[in-house]
Amino acid sequence: MLISICEQLEELFRVAILFQFVSSTSAICSSTVILQTDSSQFLTMLTFSVGHVFQLFYYCFVGNELTIQSQGVSDGIYKCNWHLSDDQEFRKAIIFMIQRCQKAQKLTAAGFIDLNFVSYISVLRLAFSFYTLLTNVIVRKANWS
């Protein structure tokens, strides 16, 4: 049941989550550039940036928790004293379930980015790298003028 729900969630939201990651990365980057250049918009841009950071965090938190919780499913099934049953079909079904649940479930952004805390930090680093690039371009352009 858990596996089919995860597959359905992945199928439904994979492209939307990728779009969310790309748009949040660009929004964080652009709003921090505006924060640096236009102090009159400080509170607005700070709120905007923090909102996008938390939005990304929420997706990654849910994906990370799903992965962690799904890793314990096979252990939970194994510990249910299934080996004491005399029913061979039941024992085979339990073994099949244990094998199927050993692979942790995960959500991704269109198959490119796993939703977990590692990807969260990576996306924030990417946004900061773009921010650094843009500020360097702005400074160089100002020096040329």
pLDDT tens digits, one per residue of 90-117 = 888 888 888 888 888 899 999 889 999 9
From residue 24, how far is each of 19, 52, 55, 76, 120 by CA, in Å?
A: 8, 6, 8, 37, 11
The answer to whether residue 40 scores a pLDDT higher than 90 is: no
Model confidence at 118: pLDDT above 80: yes
The pLDDT of residue 145 is above 90: no
Q: What is the DSSP letter of 72?
A: T
Q: What is the pLDDT of residue 98?
A: 87
User: Above pLDDT 90, what percent of the chain?
Assistant: 44
What pTM did the predictor assign? 0.82
